[in-house]
Amino acid sequence: MADSRVEKLAKVLVQYSLHIKKGDWVRIDGAAVAEDLIRAAYVEILKAGGNPMTRVSLTGFSYEFYKHASKEQLTFVPPTANLETDRLDASLSIWGGWNSKELSGVDPKKLAVSQASRKAMFDRYLKRIGTGSLKWCGTLFPNNSSAQDAEMSLSEYEDFVYRAGKLEEKNPVAAWQKVSRAQAGYVRFLNTLKTIRIAGPDTDLSFNVAGRKWINCDGHENFPDGEIFTGPVENSAEGSIRYSFPAIYGGREVENVRLTFKKGKVVEARADKGEDYLQAMLDLDSGARYVGELAFGTNYSIQRFTKNTLFDEKIGGTMHIAVGASLPESGGRNKSSLHWDMVCDTRKGFTVYGNGRPIMKNGKHSRFQIAD
């Protein structure tokens, strides 16, 4: 029998996250391993009066593409992809595949060439999402590959994913609406703050956030969700931070990252494992050493680190600080082709201060609570 949580997930994605309306042209992207969710979402979109289409990827194809493609083939952008980017009303990205390391042997230059040729299209895609003319949601279908990365069996991982999405509740949409309201209240408070200071083991780092907007992430663009973020003033970061969780980017892990900031810029970066990679990423371009995002993870149904940013950055009581590009809606102005979310486990031994007063201790906010 099909897992009833898959149908519930599809309903939430279509009715709440994407809010599909009659006549919407909706694309579903996902790997065939996610077939059950792709089908369930397809059905829900039809029921909502939308026009669903699917772009399903098959196992091993992207590996073969990068292995065999010539420069011309790498840079080819199908006209259909451009058309979809400009005309879709909604786009659902379903993550999860067969092997999270499928592309780790591919020459990074080939990946970069292909990415560069799609940049114009990708920028239009982001712009349409930003202006609200394209509704987008990214989610994950539980699969063995992600489960293995999380060091869980598939059934444990399914429980983890669906609990994080509140799909074990009778009315998940109502539960997410409640999250949204609670976070909106806290956002109003955070918007009054001028400074944020994070203090804890090997960490004392301050930011100026005055005039920036905090954004309520309540299950619309990511599912599951549970995050409140802003873009701090670009030259304001002062002090240092140590990350006890591994920092993961492009499928690579860097352990025990220590960063020191002066006038907003990373002036020293150390790590126990993967320090070369960390340095290379920080040297990617002139914006890569500046902070683009400062955020609270607010999903207290997520407690375990699973090596997947979709979940890790939302762990309730943690904070993440991304080096690289800002998200413009927060008022952040940092430009970079890097956006590396590094999650700091502020649940143990950390106090976070707003305008000099404690606002979160050991992962518990003093003015904000989401009933679980």
Give me the residues that bind other proteins (CB under 8 A), please.
59-60, 63-64, 67, 98-105, 144-145, 147-156, 255, 272-273
| Minimal distance, residue 312 CB to other proteins, in Å | 17
Nearer to other proteins, 100 or 235 (CB): 100
Nearer to other proteins, 157 or 229 (CB): 157
| Minimal distance, residue 65 CB to other proteins, in Å | 12
Nearer to other proteins, 33 or 40 (CB): 33
- Strand-pairing partners, residue 268, are 260
Nearer to other proteins, 67 or 367 (CB): 67
Nearer to other proteins, 101 or 109 (CB): 101
Nearer to other proteins, 67 or 188 (CB): 67
How buried is 72 (Cβ within 10 angstroms: 0-12 exposed, 13-18 middle, 19+ buried)? exposed
Tell me, what amino acid is at 128? Answer: R
User: Which tokens in the block code for residue 121?
Assistant: 């299209």
| Minimal distance, residue 196 CB to other proteins, in Å | 32
Tell me how crowded residue 191 is: count the other CB atoms within 10 A of its CB.
14
| Minimal distance, residue 26 CB to other proteins, in Å | 29
Which residue matches tokens 């000099």? 356
Please calculate the CA angle 317-320-325 and round it to the nearest 5 degrees: 155
Distance CA 324, CA 104 (A): 22
| Minimal distance, residue 70 CB to other proteins, in Å | 19
Which residue matches tokens 């230059």? 109
Nearer to other proteins, 22 or 68 (CB): 68
**What's 132-187 look like in SS3?**
CCCEEEEEECCCHHHHHHCCCCHHHHHHHHHHHCCCCCCCHHHHHHHHHHHHHHHH
Residue 247 phi, psi dihedral angles, 5° rounding: -95, 125
| Minimal distance, residue 235 CB to other proteins, in Å | 36
Answer yes or no: are the C-beta atoms of 14 and 44 closer than 8 Å.
yes
Which residue matches tokens 């413009």? 328
Nearest residue to 327 via CA among 319, 339, 314? 339
Distance CA 323, CA 311 (A): 18
| Minimal distance, residue 295 CB to other proteins, in Å | 28
